Amino acid sequence: MEEEDSRQLAETNAGNSMFAGGEEERDPESNSLRQPLLKRNRTLSSNPLAIIGAKVSHIESLDYEYYAGFAYFAGINLLLTAFASVLCVCFAPTAAGPGIPEIKAYLNGIDTPNMFGATTLIVKIFGSIGAVAAGLDLGKEGPLVHIGSCIASLLGQGGPDNYRLKWRWLRYFNNDRDRRDIITCGASSGVCAAFRSPVGGVLFALEEVATWWRSALLWRTFFSTAVVVVILRGFIEICNSGKCGLFGRGGLIMFDVSDVVVTYHLMDVIPITLIGIIGGLLGSLYNHVLHKVLIVYNLINQKGRIHKLLLSLSVSLFTSVCLFGLPFLAKCQPCDPSLSEPCPTNSRSGNFKQFTCPDGHYNDLATLLFTTNDDAVRNIFSSNTPREFQPVSLLIFFALYCILGLITFGIAVPSGLFLPIILMGSAYGRLLGLAMGSHTKIDQGLYAVLGAASLMAGSMRMTVSLCVIFLELTNNLLLLPITMIVLLIAKTVGDSFNPSIYEIILELKGLPFLDAHPEPWMRNLTVGELVDAKSPVVTLCGVEKVSRIVDVLKNTTHNAFPVVDEGVVPPVGQASGATELHGLILRAHLVQVLKKKWFLPEKRRTEEWEVREKFDWVELAEREGTIEEVFVSRDEMEMYVDLHPLTNTTPYTVMESMSVAKALVLFRQVGLRHLLVVPKYEAAGVPPVVGVLTRQDLRPYNILTAFPHLAKKNREKGH
């Protein structure tokens, strides 16, 4: 919403300067010359460049007018892009891009630093306003999802970390599971706000974002999207007067195509299948090329801030050149007098833009290019207007947005993928509809909808959520069966070439995402073998010397250590020299112990009353500080720490004979960070814990690096 408002603001500013300029040129002498110019001025008034017409009207050359118009247009766009890009580059690099892959990774158990902070939130909001207003080929949907998650995360932890603003009562949610839930709710609210699609938001969170799903989460996300939709509805009510710019247009349904009566019969199976197949092919091709582009961009971006900024600005300039120049290529079309819509239109969001055409004519490419991305979608979805767009114009539009979609996504501004893909897809869908001509009974507007859906499925590989989002966007329930088929075909075709775009981005970012399915070769490897290939496990005693703890923390990077008691007497069996696996202790807790100096002068266990008195659980929950910040004196080094009260005594364990595949299922299903491997032998002298497995140990890539013969076998099978 904010983006659209700002876009309007930018245009209003431009409008003001037009009127300011208008004062100067009240020159009666040039009246005769100004007549045609004023007319053109009127016809172009929907765009900033049109305004220039009036300003420079005392100059006779038309060419100069266009150049000045372009300078104005490109200049404003460059400024807005620079604003967005500087914000992202200097203050919050994590705010660039859509943010959805990082949210997905967070919910899988991978925390990207500074992803959900207050700075990121602010930069994301204003950066997204700038980027969308700059007319770049990107959407506000991804950023809105990220914004929703940021707000959720900040609420969940009681306020921003770095600004020292915290509501203590909100700390109640400050645990891993509740934070995960609340961020899922935030993500679904973001989708709901972006598409005004409450059920679609819930399903998007379920299908694409979340890793663990509980039935309670279903109605919680549902509740949050219900709140979003009620507030949206309230704003739409308030904005009925038209004061809120583009917000409120379309009511709750953004791209309404419910006025089309959907008629189809058996023969339409062919074009529907075709849309699905082409959508799948184009989607996977898009993923493939975007992957390559992103690799190149990464190289450029790594060179420094200036390079990042320059890249954004050149993309913005290229976009401006194309948007400004291409409509001149299109021929003017005569208006169809049978249509009830006004034609030509010069208002901001009309369906038939006059541009440079004479009265009674319109420029169809200008209709698509000189408008916000949202309106472009609305125009291309427009139904019952079979002759509105020429094939050549649609082809130019499609080609342009293919190129823009590929080069815009990786620049350092907040950007979403949804809208670029919808724009591409709708153009190709409508083209296909045109090509079918009289062989089909389905309206061309619906072809555009189906094209958009198929390209989305071909690139993002979602099914149910896309289906519901498109249903809620277009409000045409009778289209549902066709949409379902198109989505399924496109997804299937796409899946046979490459993974979804989000998975590609996750891999590019190097995030250790854990997939739901273990690889088949993992069944032939035991966790025992996996642990043997690692460095030996470091265990601590139940009552441990301070010097050893400091030593272990300094010399290892593990985040958790098994705690083993030696020489205990088990209730059953022979009494001598049993060892007991007491549990797992976290590095963060050990650091806290050293910081708070909870030391004992002698080697003994703490009594229960001591534990209750001594330990402050709120302090313990703070996972800040590193071993380097801790100072321990020489005397203290000789003292002891009783680790028992701080140990998690119920860690999940697997036997060493367990297959990696099943261990991975456990690891992911239960949502673990550390998995203890215990021996299958029971005898004196056998260590009670064989090793600890972490997420990194279970990643296919890392296993294959440690066991090259498996990689070889795997490759052989693949061929």
Chain positions 642 to 661 lying near its own copies, rule: CB under 8 A, are 649-655, 657-659
Question: Hunting for tokens 């002891």 — which residue is that?
Answer: 640
Residues 6+ apart with CB under 8 A from 490: 275, 276, 277, 279, 280, 283, 453, 454, 455, 456, 457, 458
Question: Hunting for tokens 């705010």 — which residue is that?
Answer: 95
Among 581, 585, 591, 643, binds its own copies (CB under 8 A): 581
Residues 653-712 that bind its own copies (CB under 8 A): 653-655, 657-659, 662, 665-666, 669-670, 678-688
Contact pattern for its own copies over residues 36 through 75, marking x by CB under 8 A: ----------------------------------------
Among 336, 519, 580, 610, binds its own copies (CB under 8 A): 580
Give DSSP secondary structure letters for 97-114.
Answer: B--HHHHHHHHHT-PPTT
637 binding its own copies? (CB under 8 A) = no
In the complex with its own copies, the residue whose CB is nearer, 496 or 649, is: 649
CB of 536 to its own copies, least distance (A): 11
Within 10 Å of residue 265's Cβ, how many Cβ atoms? 7
CB of 478 to its own copies, least distance (A): 6
Number of residues that bind its own copies (CB under 8 A): 83
Task: Compute the radius of gyration of the chain from its Cα atoms.
Answer: 31
In the complex with its own copies, the residue whose CB is nearer, 100 or 678, is: 678
Residues 190-229 that bind its own copies (CB under 8 A): 198-199, 202-203, 206-207, 213-216, 218-219, 222-223, 225-226, 229
Burial of 357 (0-12, 13-18, 19+ CB in 10 A): buried
In the complex with its own copies, the residue whose CB is nearer, 254 or 294, is: 254
What is the rounded CA–CA span in Å between residue 1 and residue 511?
Answer: 31
CB of 378 to its own copies, least distance (A): 17
Classify strands 653-655 and 560-568 as parallel, antiparallel or unpaired. Answer: unpaired
What angle (nearest 5°) sits at the alpha carbon of residue 591, between those of residues 589 and 593? 70
In the complex with its own copies, the residue whose CB is nearer, 12 or 649, is: 649
In the complex with its own copies, the residue whose CB is nearer, 472 or 544, is: 472
In the complex with its own copies, the residue whose CB is nearer, 403 or 655, is: 655
CB of 192 to its own copies, least distance (A): 10
Among 36, 75, 342, 573, binds its own copies (CB under 8 A): 573
Residues 551-570 that bind its own copies (CB under 8 A): 568, 570
What is the rounded CA–CA span in Å between residue 81 and residue 10?
Answer: 13
Give DSSP secondary structure letters for 504-559.
Answer: HHHHHTT--PPPSS--GGGGG-BHHHHHHTSPPPP-EESEEEHHHHHHHHHH---S
Candidate segments 36-44, 99-107, 317-325, 574-582, binder of its own copies by CB under 8 A: 574-582
Residues 500-529 that bind its own copies (CB under 8 A): 516-517, 526
What is the rounded CA–CA span in Å between residue 26 and residue 658?
Answer: 87
What is the rounded CA–CA span in Å between residue 431 and residue 392?
Answer: 9
Residues 6+ apart with CB under 8 A from 39: none
Q: Tokens in use for 671?
A: 């949502």
Contact pattern for its own copies over residues 596 through 635, marking x by CB under 8 A: ----------------------------------------
181 binding its own copies? (CB under 8 A) = no
In the complex with its own copies, the residue whose CB is nearer, 387 or 517, is: 517
9 binding its own copies? (CB under 8 A) = no
Determine contact, residues 491/466, Cβ cutoff 8 Å. Answer: no
What is the rounded CA–CA span in Å between residue 503 and residue 460?
Answer: 9
CB of 80 to its own copies, least distance (A): 34
Residues 387-446 that bind its own copies (CB under 8 A): none
Q: What letter does residue 240 receive in the DSSP assignment?
A: G
| Residue 706 CA: distances (Å) to CA of 530, 558, 677, 693, 701 | 8, 19, 18, 14, 9
Q: Tokens in use for 18?
A: 């037009």
In the complex with its own copies, the residue whose CB is nearer, 512 or 687, is: 687
What is the rounded CA–CA span in Å between residue 611 and residue 404?
Answer: 62
CB of 595 to its own copies, least distance (A): 28
CB of 473 to its own copies, least distance (A): 10
In the complex with its own copies, the residue whose CB is nearer, 88 or 203, is: 203
| Residue 232 CA: distances (Å) to CA of 185, 235, 329, 378 | 17, 5, 40, 20
CB of 348 to its own copies, least distance (A): 25
Contact pattern for its own copies over residues 456 through 485, marking x by CB under 8 A: -------xx--xx--xx--x-xx-xx--xx
Provide the 3-class DSSP secondary structure of residue 691: strand
91 binding its own copies? (CB under 8 A) = no
In the complex with its own copies, the residue whose CB is nearer, 152 or 199, is: 199
538 binding its own copies? (CB under 8 A) = no
Task: Please give, one letter per residue, the 3-state secondary structure of 178-228.
Answer: HHHHHHHHHHHHHHHHHHCCHHHHHHHHHHHHCCCCCHHHHHHHHHHHHHH
CB of 395 to its own copies, least distance (A): 31
Question: Hunting for tokens 């949409």 — which residue is that?
Answer: 483
CB of 453 to its own copies, least distance (A): 13
What is the rounded CA–CA span in Å between residue 43 and residue 190?
Answer: 37
What is the rounded CA–CA span in Å between residue 576 and residue 623?
Answer: 39
What is the rounded CA–CA span in Å between residue 302 and residue 298?
Answer: 6
Q: Give me the sign of the Cα torsion angle 370, 375, 381, 387.
A: negative
CB of 655 to its own copies, least distance (A): 5
177 binding its own copies? (CB under 8 A) = no
CB of 29 to its own copies, least distance (A): 56
Within 10 Å of residue 670's Cβ, how many Cβ atoms? 10
CB of 257 to its own copies, least distance (A): 12
Q: How many residues does the chain have?
A: 719
535 binding its own copies? (CB under 8 A) = no
In the complex with its own copies, the residue whose CB is nearer, 70 or 652, is: 652
Q: Tokens in use for 214?
A: 């509980």
In the complex with its own copies, the residue whose CB is nearer, 128 or 526, is: 526
Candidate segments 353-361, 439-447, 535-543, 576-584, binder of its own copies by CB under 8 A: 576-584
109 binding its own copies? (CB under 8 A) = no
In the complex with its own copies, the residue whose CB is nearer, 75 or 570, is: 570
What is the rounded CA–CA span in Å between residue 283 and residue 291?
Answer: 12
CB of 112 to its own copies, least distance (A): 22
In the complex with its own copies, the residue whose CB is nearer, 384 or 475, is: 475
Residues 222-261 that bind its own copies (CB under 8 A): 222-223, 225-226, 229-230, 233-234, 237, 251-253
13 binding its own copies? (CB under 8 A) = no
